[in-house]
Structure 1
């Protein structure tokens, strides 16, 4: 058996939950006085799933805590069977978990479970996102009047913007701290939540509707002057101050960079 054929046979055995190794594969594996070839292969078969299960537990700790050990393991093994790793990096293993949950769980658990999964995956994506030079407060201090008027920004690549329909943040925070989990309840209105990486640490915070609307307008191409105009009906002559206050917060958070 060629090396490629041997690798393919081993992969087929490891990725099939109920498979037995082929006779040809067994012939290629040496036994020992302690283990037969079949027993040795079974160890790899079990270790493969155990490693994937551990990765999902690490990437979705709040979901794991919420569901409990047994239920989470059942979900994870069903997901691994349906979506075995398709990338050379194991960090992409959980990419389709929120999608898979739609086939595995029914309402009323489905929507809050999927939302929690998306929130946790956002942290993974934020941590691994491409580096970019964020706009700094020091740079802002050197702005001329013309710089302020024409300023345009964009979100850094690590920013993930979610709209939450449930008290998912409270559930996530309780799970992370090991506290008693709150009951899942729908919010009176959707909550804008940002997840991003700053100084190698993942950050998050929710936005009030007005701030969320202002930031969304600003990062899709509006200039600072246009942002002030947008805020004028509500804030009148205080519009530039409100815009500058929010901008200072966004820059301090490390979520903005120069935009085109």
Structure 2
């Protein structure tokens, strides 16, 4: 006779891996065979995972419709058995799965919409940190500014999209008809972060994306100004760099700064 632990392990393998060994421990009922009886548990488990993905990727579901989303979900569940006790993390691979798996990979906006939804959820759940304030910046002496480095808010996530997925997401969020999916002439840079109690995102033009990426690496403000001058000309370079910085501070995208 199997021990309770062995039965539990066998039951789990039957649900997660499709192992039919557990069927030897299940009796047929007067009305149904054991395969049907145990299938209820398997189907309920898959249905629960599908429900989790539908909640995590609500706007992707709206974009694809029930049938296409169900096809994506079934394929994802089959390829990615749950490996975490917390259901919050089950769908973490779905953006990559959609980008890399046919037929979904043939429509790049699918993976990018999923990536945006995941980033917004991750930013919302991310660690707390007080944002850098203008008042704090005002206490820094002028001679220290060239050596100033900045710390992005810990919830900040950088994305780069090849399609107009962000515009599609915004239309879906507003419950209006989304624009037709299209590849962009140039990649679109975005930053996702949490401001106060709301996860949000904003697109960055090429120059701002460049300076944000370098600032996030800990590059000094003086070097950032030089890079801006090289990118789009010396005229007004310091003002442009300062304008980007002021915008990041106003939006709570930075968590701190230090002099190096």
Q: Which range, TM-score by smaller chain? A: 0.7 to 0.9
User: Aligned residue for 1:64?
Assistant: 61
CA–CA distance in 1 between the matches of 2:222 and 2:104? Answer: 48
- 1:241 pairs, out of 235, 239, 248, with 239
Gaps of 5+ in 1: none
Residues 174 and 182 of structure 1 are in contact (CA less than 8 Å); yes or no, is this contact kept in structure 2? yes
Residues 104 and 110 of structure 2 are in contact (CA less than 8 Å); yes or no, is this contact kept in structure 1? no
User: Aligned residue for 2:48?
Assistant: 51
Is structure 2 residue 204 aligned with structure 1 residue 207? yes
Change (3 A) 1:70 1:120: same
Q: Tell me how large the CA RMSD over aligned residues is.
A: 2.9
Gaps of 5+ in 2: none
CA–CA distance in 1 between the matches of 2:140 and 2:205? Answer: 28
The DSSP-based 3-state class of the residue aligned with 1:258 is strand
Query: Offset of 1:20 from its aligned partner?
Result: 8.4
Query: Offset of 1:240 from its aligned partner?
Result: 2.7
TM-score (norm 2): 0.85
Aligned ranges 1:216-227 → 2 under 5 Å: 216-227=213-224
User: Aligned residue for 1:80?
Assistant: 77
Query: Offset of 1:57 from its aligned partner?
Result: 0.9
The DSSP-based 3-state class of the residue aligned with 1:154 is strand
Change (3 A) 1:93 1:107: closer
User: Aligned residue for 1:10?
Assistant: 11
Aligned ranges 1:66-145 → 2 under 5 Å: 66-101=63-98, 102-105=100-103, 108-109=106-107, 111-145=108-142
User: Aligned residue for 2:24?
Assistant: 23
User: Aligned residue for 1:257?
Assistant: 255
Residues 132 and 257 of structure 2 are in contact (CA less than 8 Å); yes or no, is this contact kept in structure 1? no
User: Aligned residue for 2:160?
Assistant: 163
Query: Offset of 1:18 from its aligned partner?
Result: 9.0
Query: Offset of 1:10 from its aligned partner?
Result: 2.0
CA–CA distance in 2 between the matches of 1:107 and 1:50? Answer: 24
TM-score (norm 1): 0.85
Residues 156 and 257 of structure 1 are in contact (CA less than 8 Å); yes or no, is this contact kept in structure 2? yes
Farther off after superposition, 156-165 or 200-209 = 156-165
Query: Offset of 1:16 from its aligned partner?
Result: 4.4
The DSSP-based 3-state class of the residue aligned with 1:104 is coil
Farther off after superposition, 186-195 or 9-18 = 9-18
Residues 23 and 35 of structure 2 are in contact (CA less than 8 Å); yes or no, is this contact kept in structure 1? no
CA–CA distance in 2 between the matches of 1:9 and 1:184? Answer: 46
Residues 15 and 81 of structure 1 are in contact (CA less than 8 Å); yes or no, is this contact kept in structure 2? no
